[in-house]
Amino acid sequence: MTETQAEKFARAAKEREQVATPGRGRRYYLKRAVIEILAGYLVLCLILFIFQRKFIYLPSRESDLSPQKFGFAKQQAEALESTAEDGVTIRGWHVNSGRGGPELAKAPLVDLFFCGNAGNRSDRSDTFHRLTSLGPHVACFDYRGYGDSDGAPGEEGLARDARAAWDCLEKKGVKPEHIVVHGESLGAAVALRLAAEKCAAGTPPAGLVLEAPFTSMKDVAAKHYWYVPARLLLRDTFPSLERIPQVTCPILILHGRRDDVVPFGFGQELFSAAPPQSGSGVAKQFVELPDCGHNDIGLVDRPQYREALGGFYTALCPELAPKKSDGAVPRKPLARKPRPHGMP
């Protein structure tokens, strides 16, 4: 039977379809795979955006945080409480060193300590023992959502908590010039913001101590989450690099060379952005701790750390200098540069 013209066309079309189908199939599956990968990536970014505070803030809650439960004698530590401007109540401790007596108002120097992003104040009890052994009293409040404090953490909330902690000291009779604002890691960003605000208001603290500080949370996030647009996703940014030029009180920065959480270079960059000296002419200080990582600054009794911090305290408050009768050599005050004209 002779094939008709119509049948020839149909057969040719079928042959072309059979040849072309495998090519279209590969393109289809490749396109589908790309779409699925992109969809998964967008879902990951969405999860990180929605739950980012779960990654930033790692609080541990505890109902009983009486200082005696964590090794402090009754006469050595007391509970503190303060209410932030938005009504959230935060709770903390006052640990006295014995200098000036047990009362905060009579303390020659008070270290207002701000913790890192994990745990609560009870995890820093060893740190408080070490700090008070250098002379100052210590005050530390848990952020909202941490320990036994109310609320939930966030950048603006932590700033309110810092102000509430400062207000509590002032209500107890502590003057700004007797307060050293001190923070570790995330707490360094909180402490720096508080110090910058107080300096701008004309009531600067005695000094500012930053341990393992970062330039901004965006920089830290970009380092650890390089595979997502972390800088665009973050809501809590803690821009310390922008704020440190406003700090007019003496500054001490300590950073571990082996820090793999907040790179050593971040601390150096922040130091470079700080004013060369305070309003009273005290030169800024940067102390490199060669053997320290991120979590062992202040928790391990390292002589270099103690010497740097003790010297800073003593320069701010000569009353804390070791007595000659103790067999210790008094620390030299920080070198002061001539006060430039026009500066307070």
Q: What residues are paired with 286 via a beta bridge?
A: 253
> Consecutive 10-residue runs of the chain (344 residues): their mean pLDDT?
64 61 70 88 90 93 92 92 98 95 94 97 93 96 98 98 98 97 98 98 98 97 92 95 98 95 97 96 95 81 87 95 54 37 34
Give the whole-angstrom CA distance, residue 306 versus residue 52: 35
Q: How distant is the alpha carbon of residue 336 from its chain centre? A: 29
178 in catalytic set: no
Q: How distant is the alpha carbon of residue 30 from its chain centre? A: 45
Task: Indicate the helix (H) or strand (E) that contains 59.
Answer: strand 58-59
| CATH of region 62-326, choose from 3.40.50.1370, 3.40.50.1820, 3.10.450.50, 3.40.1190.20 | 3.40.50.1820
Structure tokens at 202: 């004309």
Supply the pLDDT for residue 336. Answer: 34
259 in catalytic set: yes
Q: Classify strands 137-141 and 89-95 as parallel, antiparallel or unpaired.
A: antiparallel
> What single-letter amino acid sits at 315?
A
Choose the catalytic residue: 149, 185, 216, 240. Answer: 185
| Contact between 179 and 199 (Cβ < 8 Å) | no
Structure tokens at 245: 């030029």
DSSP assigned state of 123: G
Supply the pLDDT for residue 143. Answer: 98
Supply the pLDDT for residue 17. Answer: 59
Torsion of CA 195, 196, 197, 203, to 10 degrees: 60
Query: In whole angstroms, how far apart are CA 170 and each of 121, 142, 332?
Result: 21, 18, 29
What angle, rounded to 10 degrees, do the helices at 155-171 and 186-200 form? 60
CB-CB neighbours of 267 under 10 Å: 26
> What single-letter amino acid sits at 56?
I
97 in catalytic set: no
Choose the catalytic residue: 142, 161, 219, 259. Answer: 259
Query: In whole angstroms, how far apart are CA 274 and each of 132, 207, 251, 279, 284?
Result: 27, 13, 8, 12, 8
Give the whole-angstrom CA distance, residue 116 versus residue 183: 7
| Residues across the chain | 344
SS3 content of the chain, % helix, strand, coil (to 5): 45, 15, 40
